[in-house]
Chains A and B, each alone.
Chain A
């Protein structure tokens, strides 16, 4: 079934859905411009705008539900954005409202959590301003009804991400990580920008509706090129291979940032982009769509492998994030059969990964910001709420039956199986590895013996931090089942992205499902023997070649360094050399030559009038002589 037509809308809450963006944007502007005077209540204002935005989102959602499914794509024109090129407007449809609810909902919870987490940071107001800025930009990204508006939001979240990764910019590692994220994203953004240029050339419009209905018929090559360029953009933002390297370093930011931006929302923008452009640029079986699935599978395996080797709790979770987004990309590449699972997994992942990141933040909060899991151990008794909520998130992500991840990930694996058994079995393998590394993480952190530093006094976090954890874990338990059972989400999303002719039925005991469960159980068991039952060394053992391979992010950084950084540096040095010796040498040489000659020539100016007279006299003699010679020729 094709996506439904977009209907112009005015009135009601949808008519003022620009409030969604405006509220957090105003909050950010107020907090940034207000300066230190707003320090006292800055965090409360930040939370208030996020929550208000969430409330508006819910109201919009409710009004949208009131329409007939085929009329749930509503365009809200705002103003003439770039005269002659595009009008700015918002597109409120099931896809964007899903994102809006995720962003504002999880975002609000993380805002609340941050009150506690950042309580002792002198720059808490600035932090909330950036968070609000991020929420506004992300909402613009998902709500814009054209590619240029999307691009503005896209760059906005990139900026917020940069600012928040480098929030503790006094740490060189954080500053470097922020720059790295920005530069790697630039590659992807470049692809997206070129894609938008190409779209405009091919369709003479950049709005989603315009592209769908333009009637222009560009060549297959153009469409593939646009698709691949969009994929490049998606790879950059969603940390997919080959632009994955920034995400692990991005964990230098404060943990709520990692939870909100680098797990729950921003990094899923790539999935949104692919889904939103799916009908036009990633039709089933097209080259671009196949590329999306390949990137997804490669990343889901790579992320999982990286996750197995990391001792830093946040980096292990970051590897997991990469891997889970790989699943979403895989599903998004499959086509209408996968979109619903991709977005559903995205939403449930937003909950349980935010839950776990915040849990990790809670652990770090109690452990003097220690991130090395080898120095944790036995924390379940001192942090019961954190442990319980984390456990829920853990079970959800490994696909424990009847929890959120079970339904959504299983859906992805099922549809991948139907699409291509190879990809399907690789996804199953990824699920098995997920079972191992997540279990390893939980066992190292909460079970086993205490390996704490001498000055660590772990304690449960305050209520302002635990309550968001509890709410998120409730979502992690029930949301998946609610969305998937009875194809509730697929039919809801259908009008926006299209849906397959035959709705898939949920088989609890299919062969891939059982194999997945078995593999996950095996992985968890292996983790228990290695990290739960056995002693965990405080210093990391050297490990085999494979361990090093995984620890060093599959040599991704080394590859980037060898392929881009070193040649870039050589090129820079060459350019500097050329500039210094070549151009400057030429210029300075000429200058020095003229200067030297002048220095010698000026000695002619002796100051003696008679010398000058002599030269005049000789000159006159030569002139007269020349005149004779010429005259006699």
Chain B
């Protein structure tokens, strides 16, 4: 059963990763990042049960806290950018380059 959970976790992670790469709307990109984090959490929880060790769940808990903090800051940045540039596309923010 553990293998199934892990494969599901891997699938979700990869889908999230590809989403980050192909979507341009910053908010959606953010959601994909959250999906990747959730996939990781699933793996943590699964391994916690597999190994009979609660530490995995604790780490998953911390991941959630960090994700919450990250969402707050990330969305604030998106709002700030949107306010000045009237755009939420990550491709429009490309002035810092060669």
CB neighbors of B among A557-616 (8 A): 602-610, 613-614
Query: Across the interface, do A610 and B21 meet the contact criterion of CB distance under 8 Å?
Result: yes
Chain B contacts with A in 44-79, Cβ cutoff 8 A: none
Please measure, in the bound complex, the distance between the C-alpha atom of A179 and the C-alpha atom of B88, giving whole angstroms.
76
For A607, the chain B residues whose CB sits under 8 A away are: 93-98
Task: Please state if B21 and A606 are interface contacts (CB–CB under 8 Å).
Answer: no
Is B85 interfacial (CB-CB < 8 Å)? no
List residues of chain A with CB within 8 A of the CB of B95. 607
- Could you say which residues of chain B place their CB within 8 Å of the CB of A606? 94, 97-98
Known: A617-B17, A617-B21. A609 touches B97 (CB 8 A): no
Residues of B in contact, count (CB < 8 Å):
13
Across the interface, which residues of A come within 8 angstroms of B20, CB to CB? 610, 613, 617
* Among A602, A608, A617, contact of B94 (Cβ-Cβ < 8 Å): A608
Residues of B within 8 A of A602 (CB): 98
Query: Considering the chains assembled together, what is the distance between the CA atoms of A260 and B39 in angstroms?
Result: 103
Contact B98 A603 (CB under 8 A): yes
A173, B94: Cα distance in complex, Å: 68
**What is the minimal beta-carbon distance from A599 to any residue of chain B, in angstroms?**
9
* Chain A hits for B22, CB < 8 A: 610
The answer to whether A613 touches B94 (Cβ under 8 A) is no
Could you tell me the distance in whole angstroms from the C-beta of B87 to the nearest C-beta in chain A? 13
Task: Name the residue on A nearest B24 (C-beta).
Answer: A610
Q: In whole angstroms, how far apart are the Cα atoms of A99 and B17 in the complex?
A: 100
Tell whether B11 is near chain A: CB-to-CB under 8 Å. no
Interface range, A side: 10 to 19
Taking CB as reference atom, which chain A residue is nearest B94? Answer: A607
Give Cα A603–Cα B97 distance, bound, in whole angstroms.
8
The smallest beta-carbon distance between B17 and chain A, in angstroms, is 6
* Among candidates B17, B90, B98, residue contacting A609 with C-beta atoms closer than 8 Å: B90
User: Could you tell me the distance in whole angstroms from the C-beta of B2 to the nearest C-beta in chain A?
Assistant: 19
B27 to chain A, nearest CB (A): 14
Could you tell me the distance between the alpha carbons of A608 and B91 in the complex, rounded to whole angstroms?
Answer: 6
| Cα of A607 to Cα of B94 in the assembled complex, Å | 4
Evaluate contact between B91 and A605: CB separation under 8 angstroms.
Answer: no
A120 to B34, CA, bound (A): 98
Q: Which residues of chain A are within 8 angstroms of B96 by Cβ–Cβ distance?
A: 607
Number of A-B contacts (CB under 8 A): 33
Docked-complex contact B17 and A610, CB < 8 angstroms = no
A613 to chain B, nearest CB (A): 6
Chain A residues with Cβ below 8 Å from B91 are: 608-610
Interface centre among B24, B96, B98 (most CB of A within 10 A): B98
Q: Is the CB of A605 within 8 A of B17?
A: no
Partner of A613, one of B21, B97, B98: B21
Query: Which B residue sits closest to A621, measured CB to CB?
Result: B17
Q: Which of B24, B90, B94, B96 has the most CB of A within 10 A?
A: B94
Look across to chain A and name the residue whose beta carbon is closest to the beta carbon of B33: A613
Which residues from A are CB-within-8-Å of B98?
602-607
Q: Smallest distance from the beta carbon of A617 to chain B beta carbons, Å?
A: 6
A604 (CB) vs chain B CBs: closest residue: B98
Contact present for A605 and B21 (CB under 8 Å)? no
Scan A319-348; emit 1 where CB is below 8 A from any B CB, else 0: 000000000000000000000000000000
* C-alpha spacing A609/B33, complex, angstroms: 14
A610 B97 Cβ-Cβ under 8 A: no
* Identity of the chain B residue whose Cβ is nearest the Cβ of A617 in the assembled complex: B17
Cβ contacts A510-539/B at 8 Å (1 or 0 each): 000000000000000000000000000000
A311 to chain B, nearest CB (A): 74
Closest to A614 in B: B21
- Complex interface: chain B residues within 8 A of A614 (CB): 21
B24 touches A605 (CB 8 A): no
Shortest distance between the CB of A609 and any CB in chain B (Å)? 5
- Residues of A contacting B24 with CB < 8 Å? 610
Shortest distance between the CB of B35 and any CB in chain A (Å): 14
Please give the distance in Å from B63's CB to the nearest CB on chain A.
18
Q: Is the CB of A605 within 8 A of B97?
A: yes
In the assembled complex, the CB of B70 is this many whole angstroms from the nearest CB of chain A, namely 15
Contacts A602-B98, A603-B98 given: A609-B21 contact, CB under 8 Å?
no
Contact string against A for B residues 21-35, beta-carbon threshold 8 Å, 1 for contact and 0 otherwise: 110100000000000
Q: Would you give the shortest CB distance from B96 to chain A, in whole angstroms?
A: 6
| Residues from chain B with Cβ under 8 Å of A608 in the complex | 90-91, 94
Whole-angstrom CA separation of A617 from B18 in the bound complex: 9
Q: How far is the CB of B6 from chain A (nearest CB, A)?
A: 14
CB distance from A597 to the nearest CB of B (A): 13
Contact with B along A77-98 (1 / 0, CB 8 A): 0000000000000000000000
In the complex, residue of chain A having the shortest beta-carbon distance to the beta carbon of B18: A617
Shortest CB distance A625–B (Å): 14
Tell me the complex Cα distance, A99–B93, Å: 91
A604 to B98 Cα, complex, angstroms:
8
Give every chain B residue within 8 A of A603 (Cβ-Cβ): 98
Within 8 A of B (CB), among A458-488: none
CA distance A606 to B97 in the complex (A): 5
Measured in the bound complex, the distance between the Cα atoms of B94 and A605 in whole Å is: 10
CA of A141 to CA of B98, assembled, Å: 70
Instruction: List 29 contacting pairs A-B, 8 Å CB cutoff, sorted by A.
Output: A603-B98, A604-B98, A605-B97, A605-B98, A606-B94, A606-B97, A606-B98, A607-B93, A607-B94, A607-B95, A607-B96, A607-B97, A608-B90, A608-B91, A608-B94, A609-B90, A609-B91, A609-B94, A610-B20, A610-B21, A610-B22, A610-B24, A610-B90, A610-B91, A613-B20, A614-B21, A617-B17, A617-B20, A617-B21
The 10 closest A-B pairs by CB, nearest first: A607-B97, A607-B94, A602-B98, A605-B98, A609-B90, A605-B97, A614-B21, A608-B94, A613-B20, A617-B17
Taking beta carbons and an 8 Å cutoff, which residues of A are in contact with B?
A: 602-610, 613-614, 617
